[in-house]
Homo-oligomer: A and B are copies of this chain.
Amino acid sequence: MIAEILTIGDELLCGSRIDTNAAYIARRLDLLGLDVRYKSTAGDNLDLLEEAINLALRRVDIIIATGGLGPTDDDITKKVICKVFKRNLIFHEDVLAEIEKRFAARGVKMPSINQNQALLPQGAGFLPNRIGSALGIVIDEQGKFFCALPGVPNEVEIMVDEELAPLLAQRPGNRVIIRRVLRTTGIIESALAEIIRILPKIPDGVSLAYLPSYRGVDLALKGTGTVAKEVQAAVDTAAGNLRQAVAKYIYTEDDRELEEIVGELLVQQGKTLATAESCTGGLLGGRLTRTSGSSRYYRGGVVAYADEVKRERLGVPETIIAQNGAVSAETAEAMASGVREAIGADLGVAITGLAGPTGGTDDKPVGTTFIALATPAGLTSEKYILGRHREANRERAVTIALDMVRKALLGLS
Protein backbone atom coordinates (compact mmCIF):
# COMPACT_ATOMS: atom_id res chain seq x y z
CA MET A 1 0.00 0.00 0.00
CA ILE A 2 1.32 3.42 -1.01
CA ALA A 3 1.09 6.24 1.51
CA GLU A 4 1.47 10.01 1.60
CA ILE A 5 2.09 12.24 4.57
CA LEU A 6 0.55 15.68 4.31
CA THR A 7 1.59 18.26 6.86
CA ILE A 8 -0.49 21.41 7.14
CA GLY A 9 0.38 24.89 8.33
CA ASP A 10 1.80 28.19 7.10
CA GLU A 11 4.47 27.90 9.77
CA LEU A 12 5.91 24.92 7.87
CA LEU A 13 5.89 26.66 4.49
CA CYS A 14 7.42 29.86 5.78
CA GLY A 15 9.96 27.93 7.78
CA SER A 16 9.18 29.19 11.25
CA ARG A 17 8.61 25.62 12.39
CA ILE A 18 10.60 22.47 11.66
CA ASP A 19 8.38 19.60 10.59
CA THR A 20 9.05 16.88 13.16
CA ASN A 21 5.64 15.25 12.77
CA ALA A 22 6.31 14.09 9.22
CA ALA A 23 9.36 12.11 10.34
CA TYR A 24 7.55 10.57 13.27
CA ILE A 25 4.58 9.45 11.20
CA ALA A 26 6.81 8.26 8.36
CA ARG A 27 8.80 6.05 10.66
CA ARG A 28 5.73 4.37 12.07
CA LEU A 29 4.15 3.83 8.63
CA ASP A 30 7.41 2.45 7.33
CA LEU A 31 7.63 -0.05 10.17
CA LEU A 32 4.12 -1.21 9.26
CA GLY A 33 5.41 -2.11 5.79
CA LEU A 34 3.68 0.78 4.05
CA ASP A 35 5.47 2.42 1.17
CA VAL A 36 5.67 6.12 2.08
CA ARG A 37 6.23 7.51 -1.37
CA TYR A 38 5.23 11.14 -0.98
CA LYS A 39 5.52 13.76 1.68
CA SER A 40 4.03 17.16 1.08
CA THR A 41 3.12 20.31 2.93
CA ALA A 42 0.22 22.70 2.42
CA GLY A 43 -0.32 26.10 4.01
CA ASP A 44 -3.39 27.38 5.84
CA ASN A 45 -5.13 28.14 2.55
CA LEU A 46 -8.44 26.53 1.59
CA ASP A 47 -7.75 26.14 -2.13
CA LEU A 48 -4.20 24.88 -1.81
CA LEU A 49 -5.05 22.39 0.91
CA GLU A 50 -7.92 21.11 -1.24
CA GLU A 51 -5.50 20.77 -4.18
CA ALA A 52 -3.04 18.88 -1.98
CA ILE A 53 -5.63 16.42 -0.67
CA ASN A 54 -7.02 15.80 -4.14
CA LEU A 55 -3.53 15.17 -5.56
CA ALA A 56 -2.84 12.72 -2.73
CA LEU A 57 -6.17 10.93 -3.32
CA ARG A 58 -5.16 10.43 -6.95
CA ARG A 59 -1.70 9.04 -6.28
CA VAL A 60 -1.80 7.02 -3.03
CA ASP A 61 -4.02 4.64 -1.02
CA ILE A 62 -3.35 6.02 2.43
CA ILE A 63 -3.12 9.69 3.40
CA ILE A 64 -2.08 10.82 6.85
CA ALA A 65 -2.55 14.54 7.37
CA THR A 66 -1.45 16.50 10.41
CA GLY A 67 -2.15 20.05 11.57
CA GLY A 68 -4.90 22.62 11.29
CA LEU A 69 -7.34 21.02 13.76
CA GLY A 70 -6.87 23.59 16.52
CA PRO A 71 -9.55 25.99 17.76
CA THR A 72 -8.27 29.17 16.15
CA ASP A 73 -9.31 30.77 12.86
CA ASP A 74 -6.18 29.73 11.02
CA ASP A 75 -7.10 26.07 11.53
CA ILE A 76 -8.89 25.06 8.33
CA THR A 77 -8.42 21.33 7.96
CA LYS A 78 -11.98 20.39 8.96
CA LYS A 79 -13.46 22.87 6.49
CA VAL A 80 -11.45 21.40 3.65
CA ILE A 81 -12.26 17.81 4.64
CA CYS A 82 -15.96 18.73 4.50
CA LYS A 83 -15.48 20.16 1.03
CA VAL A 84 -13.36 17.36 -0.45
CA PHE A 85 -15.40 14.52 1.05
CA LYS A 86 -18.75 16.38 0.83
CA ARG A 87 -19.66 16.34 4.53
CA ASN A 88 -21.27 18.69 7.04
CA LEU A 89 -19.91 19.55 10.46
CA ILE A 90 -21.94 18.05 13.32
CA PHE A 91 -21.83 19.20 16.93
CA HIS A 92 -20.93 16.41 19.42
CA GLU A 93 -22.07 17.10 22.97
CA ASP A 94 -20.06 14.19 24.42
CA VAL A 95 -16.88 15.51 22.81
CA LEU A 96 -17.46 18.93 24.35
CA ALA A 97 -18.05 17.37 27.78
CA GLU A 98 -14.74 15.51 27.44
CA ILE A 99 -12.85 18.70 26.55
CA GLU A 100 -14.42 20.60 29.44
CA LYS A 101 -13.45 17.82 31.83
CA ARG A 102 -9.86 18.00 30.64
CA PHE A 103 -9.59 21.72 31.34
CA ALA A 104 -11.24 21.25 34.74
CA ALA A 105 -8.65 18.60 35.70
CA ARG A 106 -5.88 21.14 35.11
CA GLY A 107 -7.78 23.71 37.15
CA VAL A 108 -8.20 25.93 34.10
CA LYS A 109 -11.50 27.35 32.81
CA MET A 110 -12.09 26.21 29.22
CA PRO A 111 -11.84 29.16 26.81
CA SER A 112 -15.15 29.18 24.92
CA ILE A 113 -13.27 29.09 21.62
CA ASN A 114 -12.51 25.42 22.33
CA GLN A 115 -16.19 24.63 21.67
CA ASN A 116 -15.25 24.57 17.96
CA GLN A 117 -13.42 21.35 18.61
CA ALA A 118 -16.68 19.51 19.23
CA LEU A 119 -17.73 20.20 15.61
CA LEU A 120 -16.71 17.19 13.51
CA PRO A 121 -17.37 15.95 9.95
CA GLN A 122 -20.49 13.83 9.54
CA GLY A 123 -19.98 10.09 9.19
CA ALA A 124 -16.25 10.12 9.94
CA GLY A 125 -14.45 7.94 12.48
CA PHE A 126 -12.70 9.64 15.35
CA LEU A 127 -9.42 8.94 17.10
CA PRO A 128 -9.29 9.88 20.78
CA ASN A 129 -6.67 12.37 21.94
CA ARG A 130 -5.87 11.78 25.56
CA ILE A 131 -3.62 14.76 26.04
CA GLY A 132 -5.18 17.45 23.84
CA SER A 133 -8.55 18.76 22.77
CA ALA A 134 -8.52 17.99 19.01
CA LEU A 135 -9.75 14.54 17.95
CA GLY A 136 -8.30 12.70 14.98
CA ILE A 137 -10.61 12.25 11.97
CA VAL A 138 -10.73 9.11 9.81
CA ILE A 139 -12.51 8.67 6.50
CA ASP A 140 -12.10 5.18 5.03
CA GLU A 141 -14.06 4.60 1.86
CA GLN A 142 -13.74 3.61 -1.81
CA GLY A 143 -10.32 2.09 -1.22
CA LYS A 144 -8.83 5.28 0.20
CA PHE A 145 -7.90 5.74 3.84
CA PHE A 146 -7.68 9.37 4.97
CA CYS A 147 -6.73 10.41 8.49
CA ALA A 148 -6.30 13.92 9.89
CA LEU A 149 -4.37 14.32 13.14
CA PRO A 150 -3.71 17.46 15.17
CA GLY A 151 -0.33 19.18 14.75
CA VAL A 152 1.06 19.24 18.29
CA PRO A 153 4.00 16.78 18.18
CA ASN A 154 3.31 15.24 21.55
CA GLU A 155 -0.30 14.53 20.61
CA VAL A 156 0.67 13.20 17.19
CA GLU A 157 3.13 10.74 18.70
CA ILE A 158 0.67 9.28 21.17
CA MET A 159 -2.22 9.14 18.70
CA VAL A 160 -0.11 7.48 16.01
CA ASP A 161 1.22 4.87 18.41
CA GLU A 162 -1.98 4.14 20.28
CA GLU A 163 -4.68 4.69 17.67
CA LEU A 164 -3.54 5.01 14.08
CA ALA A 165 -0.88 2.29 13.92
CA PRO A 166 -3.16 -0.45 15.31
CA LEU A 167 -5.86 0.61 12.83
CA LEU A 168 -3.48 0.46 9.85
CA ALA A 169 -1.89 -2.81 11.00
CA GLN A 170 -5.27 -4.54 10.49
CA ARG A 171 -5.37 -3.64 6.80
CA PRO A 172 -4.33 -6.35 4.35
CA GLY A 173 -1.88 -6.04 1.49
CA ASN A 174 1.16 -4.56 3.13
CA ARG A 175 4.54 -5.55 1.72
CA VAL A 176 7.25 -7.05 3.84
CA ILE A 177 9.81 -4.38 4.68
CA ILE A 178 12.71 -5.16 6.94
CA ARG A 179 15.09 -2.47 8.05
CA ARG A 180 18.37 -2.76 9.82
CA VAL A 181 20.43 0.23 10.84
CA LEU A 182 24.10 -0.08 11.77
CA ARG A 183 24.90 3.10 13.59
CA THR A 184 28.49 4.28 13.35
CA THR A 185 30.43 7.16 14.82
CA GLY A 186 34.01 8.39 14.51
CA ILE A 187 34.32 8.04 10.71
CA ILE A 188 33.13 10.23 7.81
CA GLU A 189 30.63 9.11 5.18
CA SER A 190 32.98 8.88 2.22
CA ALA A 191 35.62 6.96 4.19
CA LEU A 192 32.93 4.44 5.16
CA ALA A 193 31.86 4.19 1.52
CA GLU A 194 35.46 3.50 0.46
CA ILE A 195 35.59 0.53 2.78
CA ILE A 196 32.13 -0.71 1.90
CA ARG A 197 32.38 -0.53 -1.87
CA ILE A 198 34.96 -3.30 -2.02
CA LEU A 199 32.63 -5.65 -0.13
CA PRO A 200 30.55 -8.38 -1.85
CA LYS A 201 27.54 -6.88 -3.68
CA ILE A 202 24.49 -6.22 -1.54
CA PRO A 203 21.81 -8.88 -2.25
CA ASP A 204 18.94 -8.02 -4.62
CA GLY A 205 15.97 -6.48 -2.87
CA VAL A 206 18.18 -4.82 -0.29
CA SER A 207 19.28 -1.19 -0.49
CA LEU A 208 21.90 0.68 1.54
CA ALA A 209 21.67 4.36 2.44
CA TYR A 210 24.27 6.47 4.24
CA LEU A 211 22.71 8.85 6.75
CA PRO A 212 25.32 11.27 8.05
CA SER A 213 24.70 13.61 10.99
CA TYR A 214 26.77 15.31 13.65
CA ARG A 215 26.25 12.23 15.74
CA GLY A 216 27.78 9.83 13.21
CA VAL A 217 26.79 8.00 10.04
CA ASP A 218 23.93 5.50 10.09
CA LEU A 219 24.17 2.68 7.55
CA ALA A 220 20.53 1.96 6.75
CA LEU A 221 19.67 -1.33 5.08
CA LYS A 222 16.18 -1.84 3.70
CA GLY A 223 14.96 -5.17 2.39
CA THR A 224 11.71 -5.34 0.45
CA GLY A 225 9.81 -8.36 -0.81
CA THR A 226 6.84 -10.61 -0.29
CA VAL A 227 8.27 -13.52 1.73
CA ALA A 228 9.44 -12.43 5.17
CA LYS A 229 11.99 -15.20 5.56
CA GLU A 230 13.72 -14.41 2.29
CA VAL A 231 13.83 -10.70 2.97
CA GLN A 232 15.22 -11.34 6.44
CA ALA A 233 17.95 -13.60 5.05
CA ALA A 234 19.00 -11.04 2.46
CA VAL A 235 19.16 -8.25 5.05
CA ASP A 236 21.13 -10.51 7.41
CA THR A 237 23.68 -11.25 4.70
CA ALA A 238 24.14 -7.59 3.89
CA ALA A 239 24.40 -6.63 7.56
CA GLY A 240 26.94 -9.38 8.20
CA ASN A 241 29.20 -8.10 5.42
CA LEU A 242 29.02 -4.54 6.67
CA ARG A 243 29.61 -5.59 10.25
CA GLN A 244 32.79 -7.46 9.40
CA ALA A 245 34.17 -4.49 7.51
CA VAL A 246 33.39 -1.60 9.85
CA ALA A 247 32.78 -3.25 13.24
CA LYS A 248 34.94 -0.87 15.20
CA TYR A 249 32.82 2.14 14.28
CA ILE A 250 29.45 0.50 15.00
CA TYR A 251 27.98 1.34 18.38
CA THR A 252 24.60 -0.33 17.92
CA GLU A 253 22.40 -2.22 15.50
CA ASP A 254 19.24 -1.42 17.42
CA ASP A 255 17.31 1.74 17.07
CA ARG A 256 19.05 3.22 20.07
CA GLU A 257 21.09 6.28 20.76
CA LEU A 258 24.75 6.37 21.70
CA GLU A 259 23.88 7.61 25.20
CA GLU A 260 21.68 4.56 25.76
CA ILE A 261 24.50 2.23 24.75
CA VAL A 262 26.86 4.02 27.11
CA GLY A 263 24.26 3.77 29.88
CA GLU A 264 23.81 0.06 29.29
CA LEU A 265 27.56 -0.55 29.49
CA LEU A 266 27.81 1.45 32.70
CA VAL A 267 24.97 -0.55 34.26
CA GLN A 268 26.52 -3.84 33.15
CA GLN A 269 29.84 -2.89 34.68
CA GLY A 270 28.30 -1.29 37.78
CA LYS A 271 30.02 2.02 37.12
CA THR A 272 28.96 5.65 37.48
CA LEU A 273 29.76 8.70 35.40
CA ALA A 274 30.18 12.42 36.03
CA THR A 275 30.54 15.23 33.49
CA ALA A 276 32.50 18.48 33.39
CA GLU A 277 31.50 20.81 30.59
CA SER A 278 32.72 24.13 29.38
CA CYS A 279 31.72 24.97 25.79
CA THR A 280 28.85 22.48 25.72
CA GLY A 281 27.31 24.16 28.78
CA GLY A 282 25.45 21.07 30.03
CA LEU A 283 24.44 19.41 26.75
CA LEU A 284 26.40 16.25 27.57
CA GLY A 285 24.52 15.89 30.85
CA GLY A 286 21.31 16.73 28.99
CA ARG A 287 22.02 13.99 26.46
CA LEU A 288 22.84 11.40 29.12
CA THR A 289 19.62 12.18 31.00
CA ARG A 290 17.40 11.85 27.92
CA THR A 291 17.28 8.19 28.86
CA SER A 292 14.75 7.38 31.54
CA GLY A 293 16.53 5.53 34.36
CA SER A 294 19.84 7.29 33.75
CA SER A 295 20.09 7.98 37.48
CA ARG A 296 21.40 4.42 37.80
CA TYR A 297 24.72 5.46 36.27
CA TYR A 298 24.82 9.22 35.82
CA ARG A 299 25.43 11.13 39.03
CA GLY A 300 25.70 14.66 37.74
CA GLY A 301 28.36 17.17 36.88
CA VAL A 302 29.67 20.67 36.81
CA VAL A 303 29.09 23.21 34.08
CA ALA A 304 32.32 25.14 34.30
CA TYR A 305 31.74 27.93 31.84
CA ALA A 306 33.76 30.57 33.69
CA ASP A 307 37.40 29.81 34.43
CA GLU A 308 36.90 30.49 38.14
CA VAL A 309 34.32 27.70 38.20
CA LYS A 310 36.89 25.37 36.64
CA ARG A 311 39.32 26.31 39.40
CA GLU A 312 36.99 26.46 42.36
CA ARG A 313 34.51 23.67 41.64
CA LEU A 314 36.75 21.29 39.70
CA GLY A 315 40.09 22.09 41.30
CA VAL A 316 41.81 22.88 38.03
CA PRO A 317 45.08 24.52 39.15
CA GLU A 318 45.37 28.19 38.19
CA THR A 319 48.80 27.52 36.66
CA ILE A 320 47.38 24.95 34.25
CA ILE A 321 44.94 27.45 32.82
CA ALA A 322 47.52 30.25 32.86
CA GLN A 323 50.16 28.17 31.07
CA ASN A 324 48.03 26.20 28.63
CA GLY A 325 44.78 28.12 28.31
CA ALA A 326 41.26 27.03 29.23
CA VAL A 327 41.08 25.18 25.92
CA SER A 328 43.92 22.69 26.26
CA ALA A 329 44.57 19.03 26.90
CA GLU A 330 45.88 19.88 30.35
CA THR A 331 42.77 21.77 31.37
CA ALA A 332 40.48 19.08 29.94
CA GLU A 333 42.32 16.39 31.89
CA ALA A 334 42.24 18.40 35.11
CA MET A 335 38.49 18.96 34.61
CA ALA A 336 37.89 15.25 34.08
CA SER A 337 39.80 14.14 37.14
CA GLY A 338 38.37 17.05 39.14
CA VAL A 339 34.76 16.18 38.38
CA ARG A 340 35.35 12.50 39.00
CA GLU A 341 36.47 13.42 42.49
CA ALA A 342 34.02 16.25 43.19
CA ILE A 343 30.98 14.24 42.18
CA GLY A 344 32.27 10.90 43.40
CA ALA A 345 31.92 8.81 40.24
CA ASP A 346 33.96 6.01 38.71
CA LEU A 347 34.47 7.89 35.46
CA GLY A 348 34.77 11.59 34.78
CA VAL A 349 34.49 12.99 31.26
CA ALA A 350 35.25 16.59 30.33
CA ILE A 351 34.81 18.86 27.32
CA THR A 352 36.48 22.20 26.72
CA GLY A 353 36.61 23.90 23.36
CA LEU A 354 36.14 26.96 21.21
CA ALA A 355 32.64 26.43 19.89
CA GLY A 356 32.74 29.61 17.84
CA PRO A 357 31.75 31.30 15.70
CA THR A 358 34.33 33.83 17.01
CA GLY A 359 37.27 33.62 19.39
CA GLY A 360 39.74 31.49 17.43
CA THR A 361 43.46 32.14 17.02
CA ASP A 362 46.04 30.82 14.53
CA ASP A 363 47.18 28.42 17.16
CA LYS A 364 43.72 27.36 18.27
CA PRO A 365 41.20 27.93 15.50
CA VAL A 366 37.44 27.92 16.12
CA GLY A 367 36.38 24.31 16.56
CA THR A 368 39.43 23.30 18.60
CA THR A 369 38.10 20.97 21.28
CA PHE A 370 39.71 18.81 23.92
CA ILE A 371 37.90 15.87 25.42
CA ALA A 372 39.31 14.04 28.41
CA LEU A 373 38.41 10.96 30.38
CA ALA A 374 39.42 10.12 33.94
CA THR A 375 39.11 6.53 35.11
CA PRO A 376 40.58 4.60 38.03
CA ALA A 377 43.27 3.52 35.53
CA GLY A 378 44.32 7.07 34.70
CA LEU A 379 43.77 10.04 32.43
CA THR A 380 43.52 10.37 28.65
CA SER A 381 42.59 13.21 26.34
CA GLU A 382 42.11 13.80 22.64
CA LYS A 383 42.25 16.93 20.53
CA TYR A 384 39.75 17.56 17.72
CA ILE A 385 39.46 20.35 15.20
CA LEU A 386 35.73 20.55 14.56
CA GLY A 387 34.02 23.09 12.30
CA ARG A 388 32.95 26.70 12.45
CA HIS A 389 29.29 26.17 13.31
CA ARG A 390 28.64 26.64 17.02
CA GLU A 391 25.74 24.23 17.51
CA ALA A 392 27.26 21.57 15.25
CA ASN A 393 30.52 21.76 17.18
CA ARG A 394 28.73 21.39 20.48
CA GLU A 395 26.73 18.41 19.29
CA ARG A 396 29.78 16.74 17.79
CA ALA A 397 31.78 17.28 20.98
CA VAL A 398 29.03 15.64 23.04
CA THR A 399 29.00 12.67 20.67
CA ILE A 400 32.77 12.27 20.74
CA ALA A 401 32.75 12.39 24.54
CA LEU A 402 30.09 9.69 24.71
CA ASP A 403 32.03 7.55 22.26
CA MET A 404 35.20 7.99 24.29
CA VAL A 405 33.35 6.64 27.34
CA ARG A 406 31.95 3.76 25.27
CA LYS A 407 35.35 2.77 23.94
CA ALA A 408 36.95 2.94 27.38
CA LEU A 409 34.22 0.71 28.83
CA LEU A 410 34.74 -1.79 26.01
CA GLY A 411 38.51 -1.69 26.34
CA LEU A 412 38.90 -0.36 22.78
CA SER A 413 41.76 2.00 22.14
Contact = CB atoms under 8 A, between A and B. Distances in A.
A117 B153 CA distance: 38
A305 B300 contact: yes
A40 B39 contact: yes
Interface string A302-321: 11111011001100000000
A209 B44 contact: yes
Interface stretch (A70-78, A90-98, A135-143, A368-376): A70-78
A15 interface: yes
Interface string A121-156: 000000000010100000000000000000011100
A197 interface: yes
A220 interface: yes
Contacts of A308: 299, 344
A288 B281 contact: yes
Contacts of A194: 111-113
Chain A interface size, as a band, is: 35 or more
Nearest to A358: B292
Given A18-B19, A313-B342, 7 more contacts: A12-B39, A13-B30, A18-B23, A74-B207, A154-B392, A275-B282, A292-B358
24 contacts: A13-B38, A14-B26, A14-B36, A15-B24, A15-B27, A16-B27, A39-B40, A72-B193, A74-B209, A111-B191, A111-B194, A113-B194, A131-B387, A152-B212, A154-B389, A281-B282, A281-B285, A282-B286, A282-B301, A290-B390, A300-B303, A308-B344, A309-B344, A313-B343
Most buried by B among A197, A279, A289, A385: A289
B43 A37 contact: yes
A290 B394 CA distance: 9
A17 B27 CA distance: 9
A20 B391 CA distance: 14
Q: How many copies does the complex hold?
A: 2
A88 interface: no
A222 B71 CA distance: 20
A380 interface: no
Main secondary structure of the interface of A (DSSP, over half): mixed
A277 interface: yes
Interface string A54-78: 0000000000000000111110000
A246 interface: no
A22 interface: yes
A308 B394 CA distance: 28
Nearest to A357: B292
A305 B298 contact: yes
